[in-house]
Structure 1
Amino acid sequence: TCFGNQNVETRVLARSKASTYIVTDTPEAHSDQTISRSQGEAIARHQDAYIRQQSMVVIEGYIGADPKTRVAARLMVESRNANIAAMQQQLYFPVSDAERRNFRPTLQVIYTPNLKAPGYANDRVIAVDLQANVTRVLNSDYFGESKKGGLRMWNRLVYEQGGLPMHAGCKLIPVNGRPKVALIIGLSGTGKTTTTFTRQNASQPIQDDFIGVMPDGSVVVTENGCFAKTYGLNPDTEPMIYGAVSHPQAFLENVSQSEDGSVDFFDASYTHNGRATFPLSLLPEVGELVDIPKVDFILILNRNENIIPAVAKLDEAQGAAYFMLGETKGTSAGGAEVPL
């Protein structure tokens, strides 16, 4: 691109919910669609046989920054789709040379974007084995399957520890000389990243997408970078995100680009779900990623325009009820399977 970074056009434009299954022999224990363990094993054999004939890239890192709570993770992906590995590497926290000698992943995502899965919707399957902590992705080249593949399994680990995994941003906002911790909840594309990186009162972003609230009230982070939507990105209204996305280290996905390398963040002729990854180090300021104070308040973002008033302050009971209702409009991040 004109920024000196890479922009990849993918066949698949969003995560494939209709092709995602939990591997289990107890489907009654899950609210999502499932396949049996024998079906999961058949997918694994199909993919493993394919991988033996392919060149693969392996990326290792941690989900989480705190050595006490972080989780070791590994991504294996076809080298033909090395952009997925490069983008995921920006989100993992790094493994030191000393740690690498004894590194053993707790979570694994095995990713073959060019292998079809006959018999499944769109010849595509994402098989999530929460018992083995392995997610297998077949026939999707959209990076979001890598990111969500690891975080989905991480969610279960946090839940089993008594914590609450949350699809939420997190920021520190100075109030009367004391930093207050805000969580920003919302579906993909509702504005978590934008709200997190808006600098009210010299606030500091911490995370823009996924965090965990542990039983003692502390917050743990997941990612060392961001996977941001780029549609409508404007340097005047979102300078922090624009500066990072336009940096040579960023990776773009499905962003409109002319032959001369110029990009148009307002052109949605291919998709509204243009994306970019970038490391947190590209931001001018980020809050501490470990030893985060306890949560002071929660913001819930909603894109359903028929709800009035536009801004409401809720008490604890109202907030809990609203959160459980989950009323929000689907976005382009959900793909064609989620209504806008």
Structure 2
Amino acid sequence: METYGLKKLGIIHPTAVYRNLTPAKLVEAALRRNEGVLSDTGALVVTTGAYTGRSPEDKFIVDTEAVHDTIAWGKVNRPISKEKFDRIREKMAAYLQNREIFIFDGMAGADPVCTKKFRIVNELASQNLFIHQLLIRPTEEQLENYGEPDFTIMVAPGFQCIPELDGVHSEAAIIVNYEEKLVLIAGSRYSGEIKKSVFSVMNYLMPIEKDVLPMHCSANMDPETGDTAIFFGLSGTGKTTLSADPKRKLIGDDEHGWSNHGIFNFEGGCYAKCINLDPEGEPEIYNAIRFGSLVENVILDSATRKPDYNDNSLTDNTRVGYPIEYISNAAIPGVGGIPKVIIFLTADAFGVLPPISRLDENAAMYHFVTGFTSKLAGTERGVTEPQPTFSTCFGEPFMPLNPAKYAEMLGERIEKYNTKVYLVNTGWTGGPYGVGSRMKLKYTRAMVTAALNGTIEQAEYKHDEIFNVDIPQSCSEVPSEIMNPSDTWDSREEYDKAARKLAKMFEENFAKKYPNMPEHIAKAGPKA
């Protein structure tokens, strides 16, 4: 029996090894193993147990001499010793003996110059289906000549760590060993941990090896002109929804690189939120939930197997993973030109940021490095209502290098290519969470469209003194009264109080995290 390098991982007695099975065979295996059920559209639906979102407290990086000076150690990039890593790896390998093993050999990076080969070793057929659809799938010829992977990810959700013995936070652990080119994922069935581990690896390798800026963003382009736009934002801010525009080609929904000749998708699939999914508002995502897709934690009608996308009884973070080919207007391969427009997406739970504002180069650098949003319910364990947060480069949990490195690379590109930058609030208006209402998607779409086609530049602009941004006073298909958030509150006094509270949070966060940032960038932020 061919084992495809499993012996090197210590897995020497598997009962069967399946490599790069088709989605149909993986679905059959998952059903045979009682890992999930089919929905009425043929999608495989699974539940992920206690872990319905990422678990940042359980993520570690192995501290070795080779990488010690390159990692931005701290609360996000937690060190773990090589001895503890080796012990957990040995125990995981022992756990995987005498079990079926599912392997997917795929790639990350649609630009051939930057492509990295990833081998994913799964205990579950359903998770192997997920990563099969999320990474770039090799052709038969590429698979035949695959050779050794650049990185391996070993995933065993049934194996549980013992924190007291293993030196980790809980029964789950996500551990990246950059020197040995190996990632361990234990104790969690949430498939997003696999995809984000690939992203973390690419975010380490690309700047160092290829002078490529890795970005937590979605991207699309005009099918006629080829004009490219990128959308930064944390989970729940609308990256996937806003980039899945039927009038534009979708390059990718989450992870990209920016080289000196354009941008490219790291992935070959999409991972979209399903909560309150509406076939009219998000038809591309709705129609992608079919055979070959993996759906997590969506409740099905027991008789009809019809999904109830409004049911959040398991989590607000219901998800679907599907190949990008399921989007009818996908750009394949996932490459585009130099971005002409950058959109920073934020979900402001205070309800005080403008729905859209224009940023100059210094303000763009400030907001990129700050990465403000509100963590939305379900995206991480324990988050049940929106919580204001600042995430460096709109992806701090996945950025192992010094944030100044990523910020410097973005600033150089904005200046070199004169890229337009806008801050878009997809959060609340008319008051904070619980009082105001969420910004209507159709209005956000209209403002983003105006930014992409340049018509937003024709509007009259008003400078906001608190947030230090320029606000357009009009936009086609958007009520003028919502353009200035202070006009949407019942009390101007209450608005000012809330706005200055958020501005103060910006100031305190920046002073604490970026004390050595150049003054011209520091001065470009909000002023309490």
Q: Under TM normalisation by the shorter chain, which class is it?
A: over 0.9
Amino acid at match of 1:121: H
Per the alignment, residue 173 of structure 1 pairs with 222
Deviation of 1:339 (Å): 6.8
Counterpart check, 1:319 vs 2:364:
yes
Q: Partner residue of 1:36?
A: 81
Change (3 A) 1:288 1:4: closer
* Structure 2: gaps spanning 5 or more residues: 1-38, 387-528
CA distance in 1, matches of 2:294, 2:85: 32
Identity %: 26
CA shift digits 1:174-224 (9 cap, x unpaired): 6xx63321110000121100010023xx2111100000112x152121111
Structure 1 contact 17–337 (Cα < 8 Å) conserved: no
Question: What residue is the counterpart of 1:230 in the other structure?
Answer: 274
- Structure possessing the higher relative contact order (Cα contacts under 8 Å, 6 or more residues apart): 1
CA distance in 2, matches of 1:21, 1:339: 26
Distance 1:338 1:330, change over 3 A: farther
Deviation at 1:153, TM superposition (A): 0.8
- 1:334 alignment partner, SS class: coil
Select the structure of larger CA radius of gyration. Answer: 2
Matched, 1:163 2:201: no
- For the 8 Å contact 2:215–2:256, the answer to whether it is kept is yes
Structure 2 partner of 1:140: 188
Moved more, 29-38 or 285-294: 285-294
Q: Does 1:253 align with 2:301?
A: no
More helix by share: 2
The Cα of 1:265 is off from its aligned counterpart by 0.6
> What is the TM-score when the length of structure 1 is the normalising length?
0.92
Structure-1 separation of matches of 2:103 and 2:287: 29
Partner Cα separation in structure 1 for residue 118 and residue 59 of structure 2: 20
Matched, 1:185 2:185: no
2:47 equivalent in structure 1: 9
Alignment match, 1:296: 340
Give the counterpart letter for 1:334 in structure 2.
E
Which residue type is aligned with residue 232 of structure 1?
N
Separation (CA, whole Å) in 1 of partners of 2:362 and 2:189:
42
Query: 1:172 corresponds to which letter in structure 2?
Result: M
CA distance in 1, matches of 2:111, 2:212: 15
Name the counterpart of 2:119: 74
Kindly indicate whether residue 184 of structure 2 is the aligned counterpart of residue 152 of structure 1: no
Task: Please tell me whether residue 195 in structure 1 is matched to residue 236 in structure 2.
Answer: no
In structure 2, the residue matched to 1:93 is: 136
Between the two proteins, the alignment pairs up a number of residues equal to 332
Question: Would you say the 8 A contact 2:54–2:193 is kept in 1?
Answer: yes
> Helix, strand or coil for the counterpart of 1:318?
helix
Q: Does the alignment pair 1:308 with 2:357?
A: no
Normalised to the residue count of structure 2, the TM-score between the two structures is: 0.60
| Aligned amino acid, residue 253 of structure 1 | E
Asked whether the 8 Å contact 1:188–1:334 carries over to 2, the reply is no
Query: In structure 2, do the counterparts of structure 1 residues 45 and 339 end up closer, same or farther at CA, with 3 Å as the change threshold?
Result: farther
Equivalent in the alignment of 2:501: none
CA distance in 2, matches of 1:321, 1:207: 25
Change over 3 Å in CA distance of 1:66–1:323 after alignment to 2: closer
Residue 118 of structure 1 pairs with residue 153 of structure 2: no
Residue 376 of structure 2 corresponds to residue 333 of structure 1: no
Pairing partner for 1:274 from 318, 324, 335: 318
Compute the displacement of 1:132 (Å). Answer: 1.8
Cα 1:152–1:311, aligned 2, differ >3 Å: closer, same or farther? Answer: same
One-letter identity of the residue aligned with 1:8: V
Please list the CA deviations of residues 119-171 of structure 1 after superposition, one character each: whole Å capped at 9, or x if unmatched.
13231111111122211011111111111122211211112122211000001
Query: How far apart, in 2, do the equivalents of 1:286 and 1:5 lie?
Result: 20
Report the aligned-residue RMSD.
1.8
**Corresponding residue SS for 2:227:** strand
Q: Match of 1:6, as an amino acid?
A: L
d(CA) in 1 for partners of 2:292 and 2:143?
A: 24
3-state SS of paired residue (1:313)? strand
- Aligned residues of 1:330 and 1:338 also touching (Cα < 8 A): no
How far apart are 1:293 and its partner, in Å? Answer: 1.0
Q: CA deviation at 1:56?
A: 1.1
Question: What amino acid does structure 2 have at the position aligned with 1:276?
Answer: V
How far apart in 2 are the matches of 1:218 and 1:263? 39
SS in 2 for 1:240: helix
Asked if the contact 1:18–1:337 (Cα under 8 Å) also holds between the matched residues in 2, the reply is no
Question: Which residue number corresponds to residue 131 of structure 1?
Answer: 179
Distance, in Å, in 2 between the alignment partners of 1:320 and 1:182 is: 17
Deviates more, 1:289-298 or 1:226-235: 289-298
Q: How far, CA to CA, are the matches of 1:182 and 1:8 in structure 2?
A: 34
1:211-222 maps to which residues of 2 (within 5 A)?
Answer: 211-214=256-259, 216-222=260-266
Shift of 1:290: 5.2
Question: Cα gap change, 1:118/1:54 in structure 2, threshold over 3 Å: closer, same or farther?
Answer: same
- Deviation, 1:305, is 3.2
Shift of 1:251: 1.5
CA gap of 1:48–1:192, structure 2 versus 1, over 3 A, is same
Q: Counterparts of 1:98 and 1:256 in 2: how far apart (Å)?
A: 40
C-alpha separation between the residues in 1 aligned to 2:252 and 2:315?
Answer: 25
**Secondary structure of the structure 2 residue equivalent to 1:287:** coil
Q: Secondary structure at the match of 1:179?
A: coil
In 2, are the aligned partners of 1:212 and 1:221 still within 8 Å (CA)? yes
TM-superposed deviation, 1:68 = 2.5
1:252 corresponds to which letter in structure 2? Answer: V
Gap runs ≥5 in structure 1:
none
Cα distance, 1:240 vs. partner?
A: 0.7
